[in-house]
Structure 1
Amino acid sequence: MGFDVLRTPQQAAQEIQLNIGSESRFEALRATIWGNAAAASKIHVNRVLNSALPTWRVLSQRASLSEEALRAELRDALSTLQETGDLLEFSGGYWAPATARFVELPDGAGYLLIGGVPSAFLPIDPETIQYHGPHRYFSKIPTELATALPIEDLKAWSGLPNSSLEHWHRELIESIDRQPYAPTVADVFEFYLPENVKPGAPQFTRWFESAGSTSSTLLARRARIYGAREYRLVDVRSGRIISACELHDIDVRRLMYAIDLAAKNPVRARPVDHQTWLFMSELPRAEQRTFAAFGTLTIPEDRPFERRWTFLRNEEIALDMLRSLGIELGQQYRENR
């Protein structure tokens, strides 16, 4: 299917639904950007949405839905494809397809196809692709693509550190310079102190307004104007901050898990059924990116601190990653218990 097909929404709908079913908006956007960016290397977001909108209206089978609502769904899908690594966003609202490559999953669990090339452009049997949201999964690399596309390591794609959590934590503390700190009246910090809560308590309960009489290096946060939070690494002497630094481009959530592990008070997760695990704390970005490739996240409206991850495949990969964060896992679910 070439980009010219997208100019005829009914034909595009039949072709895309035949091949990928409910994941059609992601493929429609890949094809739109691939076709438009071929000539100019990048395409403005307004042109992307205007080009994909007629096709998405047909594919969604909700012709009566407002244009604003349909455009919002496409805009959300663009952000999702950026998160997966399929699309690249540039300044000024321009988008382009990312380089196509395979991401190899551990233990022979298969491959993800990442990049902006539309599935219909691949010289393979469409039935070899399994879809999960924006992700495209292969049990093995098709012969036709074996030499055409590079293979990327899972850690490189997801952003997982190459070292253990303890080593990553130690290197982070040693590599960041703290500057002398002069407090002001407006500075009101909270400190992350997992040693002060009961075993396994959720991370949101581990923040305290006082560091007590601690003399150590701590994770601290404060609320900025309009409610935004700012995180800092601080050196504390007898409970008072003497030096600090802002944490730019640092996954603070991963740092919280490292501090939990150092304090010998990790958080816990428990199984709800044979596929779903319940968490009371958020996961770091890299783990979330990986889990989204073969799982589904649910956050109940009446329990906003609750996270339920359902793993449709590769559950053992997910559990190994959770153990690497120090999370204590409850006994796995058994149907007959």
Structure 2
Amino acid sequence: MIDDGPLRLERISALEASSRLRESLALPEHAGNEELTYEALRAVAWASTRGEVPVSTRTLLDRAMDSQMFFDDVDDATLRRTLRLRLSMLSAVGDVARVGRDQWLSVGGTVVRQQGRPDGLLVSGIPLRHLDGRTRALINVAGPVRRLIGEDSSGDYRFPTIDFDDWLRRPRQPLVEWTHGTVRDALVVDIPYDPAVTEQYYAPDHSSPGTVQDKRWVTRNNLLDGTYLVRRRHLDGSADYNFAVVQAGAAIEYRSCDRRDIRRLMFGFDRIHRNPTVARWTYTPDGRQLRLHNRLPHAETRALIVLAGPPDNAVWTVRHDATEVRKILTDLGVDLQD
């Protein structure tokens, strides 16, 4: 038995701490603190769940806080908000999934191939240090995105491969056609009158041109006529969504609506009523800056994170793939103004 003497504490700098953490996470030395945080979150989530047992947000963030000692100039509340935001970015990309009531689960993984590109995306909650060395050598990290350069050797993990559009889960139909079909196929539901519920209708046909979507919800009035999205707010602050067939301002029929489709339907109704939302498209030395004033559907948000990286205060910096980003937005009916 070798006796190394008594344990001793060593005080190290934030720079040294981040360097050691990079090494333990199998990150390249040039990876920035942003990439370090994302990989630490993957490692904590994987150690906590192994893709099988969900962990609460609070527990996950508590454990992740201990790995962020290199942020020595940030208070705990700010750091926790940063980790929570980056956890949501990992969820948008697909490395972790939100399940049940405020719980998270690591995702096993897949490789996403984009048409016309030699590289692919590694979408997986499995940390780099659990991958074999040959696979790690093919991976380039940038923000929450991990790209595989060349073919995936994957070693012990055999990741399935899917197409980029299939991974986005964006409807293949044009937006207006999809919107009309979704409304047409919706099932009639019985919703009894409740005086405690406030109803608002999404009405781009009764909104000023270019108004942000949050301002397009209106209370009932005699001018409303047709089929609208209806938001029913309850006294406890919760809300549910449906379609409402309205005549002279009164709902005469309700139809079911999948809450996950709400954002896309809002853009669809905008386009049907020829009242597009507006985004600013500015040329800068760093590329093109895109400022959005409305939240995008999940699939388009996921696409922009991959193509442009996470936004900074609702501003996306598009250094590459500008043509593809523009098409994604114009397919949603967004009016891009230079």
**TM-score above 0.5:** yes
TM-score, normalised relative to structure 1: 0.76
Q: How does 1:1-337 map to 2 (within 5 A)?
A: 11-15=20-24, 16=27, 18=29, 20-22=31-33, 23-35=35-47, 41-42=52-53, 44=55, 52-57=64-69, 60-62=70-72, 74=83, 76-89=85-98, 96-108=105-117, 110-120=119-129, 121-124=131-134, 128-138=138-148, 140-142=149-151, 144-145=153-154, 148-180=158-190, 182-273=192-283, 274-295=287-308, 296-299=310-313, 307-331=314-338
How far apart, CA to CA, are the structure 2 residues paired with 1:33 and 1:207? 38
CA offset at residue 324 of structure 1? Answer: 1.0
Q: SS at the partner of 1:217?
A: strand
Q: Deviations over 1:4-48 (max 9, x none)?
A: xxxx9974344446263321122123334445656x953745775
How far apart, CA to CA, are the structure 1 residues paired with 2:219 and 2:316? 31
1:272 to 1:9, Cα distance in 2 relative to 1, 3 A = closer
Q: Which residue of 2 aligns with 1:302?
A: none
1:99 to 1:184, Cα distance in 2 relative to 1, 3 A = closer
How far apart, CA to CA, are the structure 2 residues paired with 1:92 and 1:227? 17
Q: SS at the partner of 2:259?
A: coil
Give the share of equivalent positions with the same residue, in percent: 23
- 1:317 counterpart letter in structure 2: E
Q: SS at the partner of 2:260?
A: coil
Q: Deviations over 1:71-123 (max 9, x none)?
A: 66555544443332212455588755322211123443742110122223243
- 1:173 counterpart letter in structure 2: V
CA offset at residue 53 of structure 1? Answer: 4.7
CA offset at residue 194 of structure 1? Answer: 1.6
Q: Which moved more, 1:96-105 or 1:42-51?
A: 42-51
Asked if structure 1 preserves the Cα contact closer than 8 Å seen for 2:186 and 2:256, the reply is no
CA offset at residue 226 of structure 1? Answer: 4.4
TM-score, normalised relative to structure 2: 0.76
- 1:144 counterpart letter in structure 2: S
How far apart, CA to CA, are the structure 2 residues paired with 1:205 and 1:51? 39
Asked if structure 2 preserves the Cα contact closer than 8 Å seen for 1:104 and 1:151, the reply is yes
Show structure 1 runs of 5+ residues with no match: 1-7, 300-306, 332-337
Q: Deviations over 1:165-219 (max 9, x none)?
A: 1222122112212235554433432222222234333323323223434431111
- 1:123 counterpart letter in structure 2: G
The number of residue pairs the alignment matches comes to 312
Q: Which residue of 1 aligns with 2:3?
A: none
How far apart, CA to CA, are the structure 1 residues paired with 2:299 and 2:102? 25
1:48 to 1:329, Cα distance in 2 relative to 1, 3 A = closer
Q: Which residue of 2 aligns with 1:5?
A: none
1:118 to 1:233, Cα distance in 2 relative to 1, 3 A = same
